[in-house]
Amino acid sequence: MKTRRLVPLLALATTGALALAGCSASGGAAPDDSTIKVVASTNVYGDIAKQIGGSSVTVTSILSNPNQDPHGFEADAQTQLAISKADLIIENGGGYDDYVDTMRSSTNSKATLLNAVKVSGFTSSDGELNEHVFYDYPTMSKLANRIATDLSTANPDESKTFFNNAVTFNTAMEKLEAQTAALKKTYDGDAVAYTEPVPGYLFDAIGLKNATPGAFSEAVEEGEDVPPSALNDTLKLMTGKKVALLAYNEQAGSPETEQVQKAAETAGVPVVPVTETLPKGDDYQTWQQSNIDAVKAALAQ
């Protein structure tokens, strides 16, 4: 799978600029200069950083709007300013948020950089990589440990707290992993489909097999026209009820994906909505628990 690149917009005009979402307990108050400044490319990583760092960090999540397509995000001057002031930057990597590297270089930032794809250890196969590693619980556990390590370097006095918080987070990840392992015993090998490979790692953990034509999901993710043959083959998966469910990316719709969604609903194939950022009010664990529950309910139909 190819990855869609995000476009940096370095205009200095602030009119219409994206308001950065602070994850700090201050609720939008001016950041405390004594805290460690963390900038995360999305609120997924921002939330995890906040869980590990607690009151010792001030977290800014660049992308947090649940109604926005992350692939269509355009970074601006506010984004650049936040990155220039960061002590720790957390990016997804894998082509998902390249604007972070671009802006980090342009500001001569000295911040520590954490790249979730690199932390995962996943490598591309034949030029393809599912960059949505935030649906892989072992990777998020490793990331939590790395965050604790980097925060401890910045503030050794709070090291014990950081690592204790990482243990708490990883215990929650183990509970999620136990649920996917239990589902695998029942549904291993079942065919599923998705409009984009957002929940791919979750499906892998359950043992589900992706039946989506690669040309369909790749075109959708790249924002390109879906080849008619790929669309037709994908529609046949729905009309013939050849898959147990369709995972639909709520943040990146298109006429083709809407057509597939309608075909699934008409045929009685369960549609499971998925997102790339945290829904409002959810932390990472709550979000992923909801995803597991939705997949479980769909598979049971």
Q: What is the DSSP string of 182-232?
A: HHHHHHTT-EEEESSSTTHHHHHHHT-EE-S-HHHHHHHHHT-PPPHHHHH
Nearest-angstrom CA–CA distance, 208 and 188: 6
pLDDT above 50: residue 1: no
pLDDT of residue 197: 95
**CA terminus-to-terminus distance, the chain:** 30
The answer to whether 291 touches 179, Cβ cutoff 8 Å, is no
Burial class (CB in 10 A: 0-12, 13-18, 19+), 12: exposed
The pLDDT tens digits for 208-251 are: 999 999 999 999 988 899 999 999 999 999 999 999 999 999 98
pLDDT of residue 74: 73
Q: Strands 209-210, 191-194: parallel, antiparallel or unpaired by DSSP?
A: parallel
pLDDT of residue 221: 86
pLDDT above 50: residue 24: no
Pair of tokens at residue 210: 């992706």
Burial class (CB in 10 A: 0-12, 13-18, 19+), 67: exposed
Q: Which amino acid is located at 171 in the chain? A: T
pLDDT above 70: residue 295: yes
pLDDT above 80: residue 9: no
pLDDT of residue 223: 84
pTM here is: 0.89
Considering only residues 126 and 90, tell me which one the structure prediction assigns the higher pLDDT.
Answer: 90
What would the DSSP string read from start to end of 219-274?
HHHHT-PPPHHHHHHHHHHHHTT-SS-EEEETTS--HHHHHHHHHHHHHT--EEEE
- Phi then psi dihedrals of residue 60, to 5 deg: -120, 120
pLDDT above 50: residue 18: no
Greatest mean pLDDT among 28-32, 88-92, 220-224 lies in 88-92
The pLDDT tens digits for 152-202 are: 999 999 999 999 999 999 999 999 999 999 999 999 999 999 999 999 999
The pLDDT tens digits for 274-283 are: 999 999 999 9
pLDDT of residue 272: 98
pLDDT above 90: residue 5: no
pLDDT of residue 27: 36
Considering only residues 80 and 184, tell me which one the structure prediction assigns the higher pLDDT.
Answer: 184
pLDDT of residue 127: 64
How many helices and strands (H and E) does the chain possess? 11, 11
